[in-house]
Amino acid sequence: MIKKFLDTVLFLEIWTAMIVPFKHMFVKEVTFQYPREKRIIPDAHRGALGLLRYDKGEGKIGHERCVGCDLCEVACPSHCIKVVSEPAGLDAPNPLMRVATEFYIDITKCVFCGYCVEACPVNALAMTKEYEYSTTDKRKLIFDKEKLYEIGERFLEDSKKYLVAHNQEVDDEMWEQYRYRFPAPTVEAQSLYQTLTPPVEEEPVAVGTETEPATSASAPTQEPTSTPPEPKV
């Protein structure tokens, strides 16, 4: 009864609950004033997707890296990517080259897994640090080809850092080295079952240079002898 009386008079429950606020009075503040203050985002952050162009290295500067292979669409687990491709045309250096005429990403369905970036053979896709793309119109969240290239150009450095952080490009050669670079055939690369270089043809022999084996003049020439047919009974 005395303990209950003291708890009621001295408000011990309130003092016990105030222990946590008193402890945090001497701790450094962790709250930042958004949007005036922005959090430092790591390079491996998976934000909005963007398409990239050639900067330095393989391909012409400013040309699209995307070859319309549709591997990103196949690898997407949420089926939010749609790629429409067609042959590059007669002016292309390679007659088998294809280009993506249409490219759509429904960002409302995207789970930001990064599978599409890993599946791209030419590193044409990359994720950026962009996360402020909220809008009142849901149709604007379906990024088309122009929107994706606009994001890729605006966040080009973040895209390159993302590819480096996920071991898809090398830091010191990030503008020149891309994945799946096929090496030139060399003698060391040849296997026992595959010849990468054509076989060396034998030198043709000039007409009239062949020598026949000499025959001895003293050796008599033997003519074939014919045996008479046996009489029929």
Residue ranges of alpha helices (H) inside the chain are 2-10, 12-17, 19-24, 71-75, 115-119, 145-154, 156-165
pLDDT of residue 202: 52
Q: Which CATH number does the domain housing residue 143 bear?
A: 3.30.70.3270
| Residue 92 is assigned to a structural domain of this protein | yes
Structurally, the chain folds into a number of domains equal to: 1
Question: For the chain, what percentages of helix, strand and coil (3-state, to nearest 5) are there?
Answer: 25, 10, 65
pLDDT of residue 97: 78
Full domain range(s) for residue 147 = 49-165
Q: Amino acid letter at 40?
A: I
- Tokens representing 59 are 């391909």
| Residue 102 is assigned to a structural domain of this protein | yes
| Residue 180 is assigned to a structural domain of this protein | no
Pair 159, 50: CB distance under 8 Å: yes
- Tokens representing 159 are 């895209």
| Residue 182 is assigned to a structural domain of this protein | no
- Average pLDDT for consecutive 10-residue bins of the chain (233 residues)? 79 83 82 85 92 74 84 94 86 75 94 93 91 90 94 91 85 48 43 41 51 47 53 52
> Residue 91 and residue 101: Cα distance in Å, rounded?
16
| Residue 150 is assigned to a structural domain of this protein | yes
| Residue 1 is assigned to a structural domain of this protein | no
Sign of CA dihedral 161, 165, 169, 173: positive
**Whole-model pTM above 0.75?**
no
pLDDT of residue 225: 52
- Tokens representing 154 are 């605006």
| Residue 25 is assigned to a structural domain of this protein | no
- Tokens representing 220 are 């008599």
| Residue 38 is assigned to a structural domain of this protein | no
pLDDT of residue 59: 58
